[in-house]
Chain A
């Protein structure tokens, strides 16, 4: 019991340390924003590596997210006896507000956040970061700025696509599997669609992107030892990003979507 508590306490202290470190890195990231013109080439490169290359994965998960949400909504409707003409509405709301931003961000944390932590972690343990410093090149400008900016811009863009594709996935399942006509589905979707929901979804996505980028960079910088340290940095970055995404998502729900 006592041992359990002390482990819990140590974990808690570690987590608070990490949050503090993230805040400092965020501040340094903000300071480096003035160097955007100078790092333009690096930023464009990261936009491509981080954003464009994540698109196929996001497309695949979005199809299935939309599909399963239509199927499960129909199942629930049948259970409570709700009319199926509200199916488009239910799928649309769920996808735009929650499913597309959150699931895309979680997948993004697994793909991109882990990649950033592994890359920067390797650079740390092989003295490449020291080498940058020794040449008078600020690693925050050279490494963190391009990656975090790319995450910040690309996650909302990916979620934009995810929204669109998930709705199509839902539509297909409704027509083929549930026997709701495409007009009924789309009318339901259109009637309930609110621009503010859509914008809020993308805003959340931007914050999630920022979190994933910062956590990946932070854990990478903190890596020590060798391959083992890099592995640890990678898994830790995914775990912390995912926890923070879900916590922030709940905070957003309370702030943005007033009951």
Chain B
């Protein structure tokens, strides 16, 4: 069985069906990028992997466990093995940058204060944010917050990383730095990653596999090379950024 398996996932908010039977299998160490239009349910999909949202129907499996059946303690255990970078960064605004990055470490009670400080500095260095360690999130730009969020997500060295639009709102150079970092995490630490984005440059750079979400279902699935030359009209329209085509702009 796949490392992570999303099995016929359906999510409705009231009358609105956001996910309408999504199936995705992810192998350990794989880096998969989910593309799709704004509002197609990418963030909703990611949140199901941490059980931040409950499926209306269908299941999410992690290492052979149906995460909906886990008890509180088991769920915490799995959440600590998965890191997530939220679309809005979601930094704790009452804590400094360094405290944000160190919170998960401190709360896990497995590290001394010194160790926490050291790890925090290493991670901030990776995202080039050491100089902002003592600042509060409100004092940072959007791109800086994203980088801190990434540092926070990798602080506990998770096995799986979920990136919700990690490069959106970043300048091209910083975006490329983040892309490099994502690739490096995968190659050096064998991190499994699921990234959600509509930044195709980033998608082609970090993906082993690209999946497209369209009208609540998986419309397409293929390697970056296949994706570049696909004749699927929906995917073509998306990666070429055309207003005209099968996808109606809502």
Question: Which residues on A are within 8 Å of B, measured CB to CB?
Answer: 38, 122-123, 126-128, 130-138, 142
Contact = CB atoms under 8 A, between A and B. Distances in A.
Contacts of B103: 135, 137
Interface centre among A132, A135, A138 (most CB of B within 10 A): A135
Interface of B: 47, 50, 52, 76-77, 79-80, 82-84, 86-88, 90-93, 103-104, 107-109, 156
Contacts of B52: 130, 133-134
Given A135-B79, A135-B80, A136-B76, A130 B108 contact: no
Nearest to A127: B90
A130 B90 contact: yes
Contact of B90 (A126, A137, A142): A126
Given A130-B90, A131-B92, A136-B80, 19 more contacts: A122-B93, A123-B92, A126-B88, A126-B90, A127-B86, A127-B88, A128-B90, A128-B92, A130-B47, A130-B86, A133-B50, A133-B79, A135-B79, A135-B107, A136-B76, A136-B77, A136-B104, A136-B108, A137-B104
Contact of A137 (B77, B88, B107): B107
B88 A134 contact: no
A138 B82 CA distance: 15
A194 B156 CA distance: 58
A126 B91 CA distance: 9
A122 B90 CA distance: 11
A128 B145 CA distance: 13
A134 B92 contact: no
A137 B50 CA distance: 13
Most buried by A among B90, B92, B93, B156: B90
5 contacts: A126-B88, A130-B47, A131-B91, A133-B52, A136-B108
Nearest to B109: A38
Contacts of A131: 84, 86, 90-92
A135 B80 CA distance: 6
A136 B152 CA distance: 13
A126 B137 CA distance: 13
B32 to A, nearest CB: 19
B136 to A, nearest CB: 13
A127 to B, nearest CB: 4
Contacts of A134: 50, 52, 79, 82-84, 86
Nearest 5 pairs of A and B residues by beta carbon: A127-B90, A136-B79, A131-B90, A136-B76, A136-B80
B63 to A, nearest CB: 16
B99 to A, nearest CB: 12
Contacts of B82: 134
Contacts of B88: 126-127
